[in-house]
Amino acid sequence: MQIDFNNLNINQLSFDTEFEKRVGIFLDDWFSAGTMVKVQTSGSTGTPKVFEIEKNKMINSAVMTCNFLGLEKGDSALLCLPVEYISGKMMVVRSIQRKLKLIVAEPSLKPVEHLEKKIDFCAMTPLQVENSLDKLHLIKNLIIGGAAVSESLKNKIFELNLNTSNRIFETYGMSETLSHIALRQLMPEPEEYFTVFENVSIGLDERGCLTIFAPAVNGELLKTNDLVDIKNKKQFKFLGRIDNVINSGGAKIFPEALEALVKKAISNEAVFLGLKDESLGQKLMLVIEGNESDEIRKIILQLPFEKNFHKPKEILFMDEIPRTPNGKINRIGLYEKINAGK
């Protein structure tokens, strides 16, 4: 279905599928007299929770994204993310605020499978993009969020030789910042650092983790668990989450950095974990999604790891790595699954 927010008459809309009905429920909530909206977190780094957000702050967030991308009234957008989460809700709010024509598509691994004409704006998870490479040329502005974009996916995007008019960005944000507050361009000109939106300030806390002050969307100084390198007042590079840091034999290991190296060499999903070990404290394990492969094992062990202790002590192949409902790797679930198996 398509909703034209430049010429909206909700009473004439027909919400047929279960997903369309959830979109309709959110629209009823949004256009109600209430000033707050309930949002569910993904649960990728802890227990899922529900909290309320002011509608006017969601509008402020929508304005920042629409302005950055240059979206205009009447442009087309595609919703293919669950509306239970902030990612899906914000796609709807951006469409309302900028009066876009919103195409509503069932969230799936191949959300643009039936897309035949060009659209101006879409947001997807990395896994959705991975399964939509043949359709990316139809999307003028694509933002990728929910999880880090792997090196293998970046390479696949580069190999498409897309037109310079196709812009692709990786997002940085969280539920507390009402989706993203920074973007990093992947195409057509790859950028190493994220650039924060206007009126967003960044810094470091005593742990070396990113702090964010974005008063338009959240009045509090937000302390993240993300270790970063700050280039200047507006740019930073993500290093890894402090709660994912592995302490093996007294050495701190950033799994995200190692995963980026591995994913340059193989196309499989790969996750580094620290398992309890009597002598090392934590033993470095690499979990690879897919069938057991001596060839992949050999490739990994020959990679140019910066330190010898960056090489995994154990490599485990798994049919399917646990993910949260919105596609993020569930490290807690993976850790528990491995322990249960042992």
The one-letter code for the residue type at 317 is F
Residue 273 binned pLDDT confidence (cut-offs 50, 70, 90) = very high
Taking only Cα atoms into account, the Rg of the chain, rounded to an integer number of angstroms, comes to 21
| Domain end (from 164, 181, 197) | 197
What does the alpha-carbon distance between residue 180 and residue 197 come to, in Å, rounded to a whole number? 9
Q: Note down the domain range covering 261.
A: 245-341
Q: Answer yes or no: is 208 within a domain.
A: no
Locus of tokens 């919105």: 326
Give the count of alpha carbons within 13 A of 44, CB side only.
17
Peptide bond into 188 cis (omega under 30): yes
Residue 36 has pLDDT above 90, yes or no: yes
Bridge-based pairing state of the strands 119-124 and 76-79 = parallel
- 168, part of any domain: yes
* Residue 51 confidence class, pLDDT cut points 50, 70, 90: confident
Q: Output DSSP code: residue 192.
A: S
Q: How many domains does the chain have?
A: 2
On whether both 249 and 148 belong to a single domain, the answer is no
Q: What is the largest CA-CA distance in the chain?
A: 67
CB contact burial 191-228 (16+ within 10 A = b; e otherwise): eebbbbbeebebeeeeeebbebebebbbeeeeebebbb
Query: What pLDDT is attached to residue 328?
Result: 75
E-strand spans in 10-91?
A: 36-40, 50-54, 76-79
Q: In the numeric block, which tokens belong to residue 199?
A: 């009126």
Answer yes or no: is pLDDT of 47 > 80: no
* Band of pLDDT at residue 48, cut at 50, 70 and 90: low
Q: CA–CA separation, 285 vs 302, rounded Å?
A: 16
Is position 204 within any domain?
no
- Provide the CATH number for the domain around residue 30: 3.40.50.12780
79 lies in a domain? yes
Question: What's the confidence (pLDDT) of residue 180?
Answer: 93
CATH code at position 260: 3.30.300.30
167-191 pLDDT per residue, tens: 999 999 987 888 899 999 999 999 9
Residue burial 284-295, b: 16+ Cβ < 10 Å; e: rest: bbbbbebeeeee
**173 closest CA partner among 85, 83, 305, 298:** 85
Residues 183 and 284 in one domain: no
Q: How many whole angstroms separate alpha carbon 177 and alpha carbon 213?
A: 9
Examine the domain organization and report whether 166 and 274 are in the same domain: no
Residue 212 domain flag: no
Indicate the pLDDT class of residue 42, thresholds 50, 70 and 90.
Answer: low
Give CA 18 to chain center in angstroms: 24
Q: Averaged over 196-210, what is the pLDDT? A: 94
* 104 in the same domain as 43: yes
